[in-house]
Amino acid sequence: MKKWGFFIIIAILLSAFTKLPNLLEKDQIKEYSIVENGNIDLFPSEKQKNFKLTTKHIYNGDLLLVNNMFPIQENSIKSDIVNLAEHPKLTKEYALLNNDIKLSKEIGRKFSDMMAAAKKDGVNHFMISSGFRDFAEQASLYETLGSDYALPAGYSEHNLGLSLDIGSTKKTMYEAEEGKWIENNVWKYGFILRYPKDKSAITGIEYEPWHIRYVGLPHSIIMHEKKFVLEEYLDYLKKKKTITITIDQKVYALSYYHVTQNLTIQVPVNGQFEISGNNIDGVIVTSYLYK
């Protein structure tokens, strides 16, 4: 079996039982509250089942931290990378800088839905200028532009398939309505502005109003509320161990687990949970707490 085929199969197996239902949509987010519970039992025993975590889970998911300290592993790359120009249904609401831009198909759908919402708000001059880059493309970019303008292969979020650079066809993102809309609204759709103002000491990257990253709901809501970047958010979850967030009367629990070897945890019997590694030392389990 070819190496990439093996990685794709592993990714499918890791995600097979870890999908939350699509319960969170922008129009539903009217109110939310966050409770910091500490390490507590969240489910009655009859509504729990065993799930085995392994160290492989650390390196898969939407919350992977990628920076100059924590590079991407090859099996962390999204397995559904597509050329967006070949999927016109995904690009109806925005332009592409060129026909070579790639992205996770799943993230492309979520971005397209977000662009449709922006259009309803009268903001509709978006363009994707960069999406997924493989390691070879990132290495070439780093060699050409140098360390002031690019990161080495494996150290850029663009190597994951979860991040994209977007612009306006009218003005720069510093000035355009598109930039303002992104800063104020992406959290409602599971995206974050990855390198915001006044956080460069933490992220290591200067303010980039064009670079967004998918982390998923409800994570983007909590990060927005607490004004966290991803580094801060993962530290917060690790410290709190478990928190709950109520969104329009739907309750979600987020629990951090340190994983050094196989670890059996309790998850809902209904299967409504997601698992993401942090690309460092543990995983975050997000569960829908049904009654």
Active site residues: 208
Residue 174: exposure state from Cβ atoms within 10 A (0-12, 13-18, ≥19): exposed
Q: Report the distance separating Cα 111 and Cα 94, nearest Å.
A: 10
In sequence order, what are the residues at sequence separation of 6 or more whose Cβ sits closer than 8 angstroms to the Cβ of residue 125?
Answer: 168, 169, 170, 176, 177, 178
Burial of 262 (0-12, 13-18, 19+ CB in 10 A): exposed
Question: Hey, what are 57's tokens?
Answer: 């889970």
Q: What DSSP letter does each residue of 40-89 carry, written as one string?
A: ---S-GGGEEEEEE-GGGGG-STT---SSSSPPPGGGS-TTEEEGGG-GG
Identify which of 278, 281, 219, 239 has the alpha carbon closest to the alpha carbon of residue 67. 278
How many beta carbons lie within 10 A of that of residue 38, not counting itself?
Answer: 10
Looking from the CA of 16 toward its CB, the CA atoms found within 13 Å total 8
**What value does the CA radius of gyration of the chain take, rounded to a whole number of Å?**
19
Residue 93, helix vs strand vs coil: coil
> Which structure tokens are listed for 229?
């970047």
Percentage helix, strand, coil for the chain under 3-state DSSP, each rounded to 5: 35, 25, 40
